[in-house]
Amino acid sequence: MPGDFEDMQFVVLSGPSGSGKTTIVERLLAESPVKLVKSVSATTRPARKNEVEGVNYYFLTPDEFAARRTRGEFLESAEVHGTGNWYGTLQSEIARAQREGGWALLEIDVQGGRQIIERFPQALSIFLQTSSETEYERRLRGRGTEAEEIIQRRLANARNELSQARKYRFQVVNDDLDQAVREIVHIISNWEAQRHA
């Protein structure tokens, strides 16, 4: 039940595709001053080459996803990027973070972010962006994991996501990766200090 997570601390990281979320999550898992447990999301999108079930995502069929959603197993869920693909955070992942004694780290889109921020006022929400809009395209092409049509859809969606940035407690610019990581580490340290003040 959601109420069971009232004392849980969440870090919610959102930002347009190409803003550097995945890269920064890896760095934070190693460098955060507070133990973070990455929530593994469920999705109906097909696995990419090199993606591993239960590590990158839980890959569900649309029917499985819908059934689990109806059963109330998700803390948040959304259809992302207008692809018809659903993504969501399973309550069982938050329970796992709680068992492991860390803060749950959620790398989710702005629709899911809004659901978590509204439900858990204590959530530490961070919106990641770059200072130049053309940089998203450059990075997505550089990453080379999506087809052209998907890149175009994600770029179109970036504008909508950017309009939600101010709903997050912190906005971090990821132009220089090391600097962005340092800034987030600092935000986490301050947040932890405030909780004990």
Which residues are near ligand 5GP by CB under 6 A?
Answer: 17, 21, 41, 45, 76, 78, 80, 87-89, 107-109, 111-112
Do residues 105 and 113 touch, judged by C-beta distance below 8 A? no
- Contact between 143 and ligand ADP (CB under 6 A)? yes
Measured from the CB atom, is 27 or 96 closer to ligand ADP? 27
Measured from the CB atom, is 87 or 191 closer to ligand 5GP? 87
Task: For 115, list phi and psi in degrees, rounded to 5.
Answer: -60, -40
Task: Give the residue among 195, 140, 157, 179 at the shortest CA–CA distance from 11.
Answer: 195
Measured from the CB atom, is 83 or 98 closer to ligand 5GP? 83
Instruction: Give me the amino acid identity at 46.
Output: P
d(CA 157, CA 3): 32
- Contact between 153 and ligand ADP (CB under 6 A)? no
Task: Look at strands 103-107 and 36-38 and give their pairing.
Answer: parallel
What's the closest the beta carbon of residue 115 comes to ligand 5GP, in angstroms? 8
Helical axes 148-162 vs 134-143, angle rounded to 10°: 140
* Size of the residue set binding ligand ADP (CB under 6 A): 15
Instruction: Give the contact letters, 32-71, x = binds to ligand ADP (CB under 6 A), - = no.
Output: ----------------------------------------
